[in-house]
Amino acid sequence: MTGIRRRAAVVAASVAVVALVAGCGDPPEPLTDGPAGAAPADGLTRVVDLAAERAVLSDRVAAAKAGTGQPVTDPAREKVVVDDARADAARDGVDPEWTARVFADQIAASTQVQEDLLRRWTEQPGARPAPVDLAQVRPELDRIGDELVAALKLATPARAHEDCASSLAQAAVTRSATLDDVHRAALGRALMSVCDGAPE
């Protein structure tokens, strides 16, 4: 296993613990290398916050699709989202391929939430929420996407740091305190590529 993949595996395992426990152990030392006025760990925390926000927003996406027969996945649109993120990252000086992987993970996490909720609502029709207009949700998804590129730029110095995985997991543990199991699991899925290391 390469160093990059090892870090990604550590992140996945660490964040998975979020689904079982909250706040165990001492927090890692803060990451301090990076632009003046902002620690890289701030970028990691912001990435976690946005990933959690997107996971929660997936409830409304699922509500828009419930009972319509509309598929959860939309490969063509998802490709546009990832390609646009890659282009925005390149323009802003962020590793575009890393950004694309993180965005793909966000989409996978959202799909996971939607599938879980749609399954639940099929089994428990009375739990299905009122219909939602997906057109009203998309601007929020776009905003989160724009802010995520900016957060990844701030988090860039943390990528290859040996404490990236532990700092990311700690931020996820903190943020997950207000999430249920469905969204906690999605948060872990969304963060899989954040600490995959800087390009060589």
Do the Cβ atoms of 128 and 66 come closer than 8 Å?
Answer: yes
Q: Which residue has the tokens 């305190």?
A: 177
> Cα(192)–Cα(4) distance, rounded to whole angstroms?
12
Residue scoring higher pLDDT (159 or 7): 159
pLDDT, tens only, 56-74: 999 999 999 998 889 999 9
The mean per-residue pLDDT over the stretch 155-160 comes to 91
pLDDT of residue 164: 93
- Structure confidence by residue, pLDDT tens digits, 17-33: 544 443 334 444 444 44
Closest CA to 149 of 80, 81, 197, 199: 81
CATH of 3-21+40-190, one of 1.20.59.10, 3.40.50.11540, 1.50.10.20, 2.120.10.30: 1.20.59.10
pTM over 0.85? The answer is: no
Question: Measured between alpha carbons, how far is 48 from 87 in angstroms, rounded to an integer?
Answer: 22
Tell me which residue of 169, 165, 174, 185 sits closest to 55, measured CA to CA.
Answer: 185
Where exactly are the structural domains of the chain? 3-21+40-190
